[in-house]
Amino acid sequence: MRSHDLWIDGAAALSDAGNRIERCSPSTGKLLASFTLGSCGDVDTAVMAARRSFEAATWRGLPGSERAKAMNKWAELLQRNCEALSLIEADEVGKPIAASRAEIEYGIDLVRYAASLAWSIQGRILSDEGADKLGIILHEPRGVVGIITPWNYPVVCLMMKLPYALAAGCSVVVKPSEFTSGTTLEIARLASESGIPEGVFNVVTGTGAEVGEAISGHPGVDMVSFTGSSAVGKRIAQRASDTTKRVSLELGGKSANIVFADADIDEALEGTLQAFTINQGEECCAGSRLLIERSIADEFLTRLAERASKIRVGDPRDPATEMGPLIHEAHLERVLGYIEKGKAEGAKPIAGGRRLSGSAYDKGFFVPPTIFTGVTTNMSIFKEEIFGPVVSAVAFDSLDEAVDIANSTTYGLAGGVWTQNFDKALSVVRRVRTGMMYINCYLQTIAQLPFGGMKESGFGRENGVEGLMEFLEVRAAFAKLKTQF
């Protein structure tokens, strides 16, 4: 069993309260790790450390090129420890080891990309308003940033924020999920080894009710960046408003995956399956609303159900496993509750629809891919985020109808479209109100593309140049010159 303490001021630290959190495997129920149960006092200590480092300019005072060098060294250390980090991720989250490795690799790519951006932070000069006038625009780090991450993608959700904050010159206090804190703490240790100064990257483990609340309302925190549910995001925004701090929120989704009759059907089948089963469906971008053109709907769903029934669900450390367990028992009950609600409302499961049982499953929280047909757009399973391997299928007759159905949600995070007519695809992309759309693929992207939501899926952007700009304050100065030029 692993045992982890807090990480404050460049070293492991004990909590002022002395309490612990035990994390058991969602696959076997065995004890995996023990984390410090942080307190409000621990948040104070971490914020003070971050503030000291920021005011002393030990990090933000470095040239961007020097910050980039330290971050690239950090990326090298992460790469050397990729397998160890992948095993922690697989164990704590329950995701298949192949997916865990892919997550760590992508997280490392994000560090390298953010480091490259540190070289090019620049302001502007306005020099054409008269010989005695000069306008100066500055881009400076926002200050101390509170980062709150979820349990489903502990590394990627962290790395879509943290490296950009560091590239900008900010100091940070991170609160990972109490269920999946192991990789974040290891990443912090490796950051220290890479030469990132003490106090720049701090980690306080614990619950959202205590640590998350303390960070989001702390007067010493200048900005909060959060990924999680829409309900918690709204609470964080309320807390942050008391001190008028900047907030970036990446929240829930109920994304539409639209399949037209002229799509490459084999590719669309595999992409659609991935869209709702990747990470056990515990994915904010999941294509959990499947919209299929009516002329191909019956055949497509028959083939999708056949393929879904062959997905191998099991031990996350088994290389052959395609889906692991759900994160914990309470979430298992939530997902099963939605499945039963779908049946009660008249939808029909043509795959899955129950908890898996037997010697390989009884000690874990396993649900197979579940596909509902006979769905109407007013059903709970079609409207509400389930966060499990459940998809609800609806047929459509025209592009306009597909767009209307796709937009009939309070969410606006992601979506997909499958067609070999690129004009049609772009029309859908322009009309569906989401922050991210996938064309003839699903859940594939590159570091340079910004990511974030619309409507109740949040605001602010991660990744890309836009992800860096979230952590930069724009300031201006005007100079009245005595010497004209």
Q: Are 385 and 404 in contact (CB under 8 A)?
A: no
Between CA 281 and CA 335 the distance in angstroms is 10
pLDDT for res 17: 80
Beta-carbon contacts of residue 254 (< 8 Å; ≥ 6 apart): 288, 289, 383, 384, 385, 409, 411
Q: For this structure, is 250 an active site residue?
A: yes
Q: Catalytic residue among 210, 284, 322, 456, which?
A: 284
Instruction: Point out the catalytic residue in the list 89, 103, 250, 385.
Output: 250
pLDDT the model gives residue 205? 98
Q: Where are the domains of the chain?
A: 2-251+457-476, 256-439
Interval 139-186: pLDDT, tens = 999 999 999 999 999 999 999 999 999 999 999 999 999 999 999 999
DSSP for 205-255 reads: -S-IIIIIHHHHH-TT--EEEEES-HHHHHHHHHHHHTTT-EEEEE-----
Q: Is 178 a catalytic site residue?
A: no
CATH topology of domain 256-439: Aldehyde Dehydrogenase; Chain A, domain 2 (3.40.309)
Q: CA-CA distance, 284 to 229, in Å (whole number)?
A: 9
Element (H, E) at 156: helix 154-159
Q: Which fold is adopted by the domain 2-251+457-476?
A: Aldehyde Dehydrogenase; Chain A, domain 1 (3.40.605)
Instruction: Compute the CA torsion angle 85, 78, 447, 425 (nearest 10 deg).
Output: -30
E strand or H helix that includes residue 147: strand 144-148
Strand ranges for 277-427 from DSSP E: 289-293, 348-351, 370-373, 390-396, 411-412, 415-418
pLDDT at res. 485: 57
Q: Determine the pLDDT at residue 77.
A: 98
Q: For the chain, which residues score pLDDT lower than 70?
A: 484-485
How many angstroms separate the first and last alpha carbons of the chain?
69
Q: How many CB atoms lie within 10 A of CB 319?
A: 8
Task: Count the neighbouring beta carbons within 10 Å of the beta carbon of residue 161.
Answer: 28
Q: What is the pLDDT of residue 484?
A: 66
Radius of gyration of the chain, Cα coordinates, nearest whole angstrom: 23
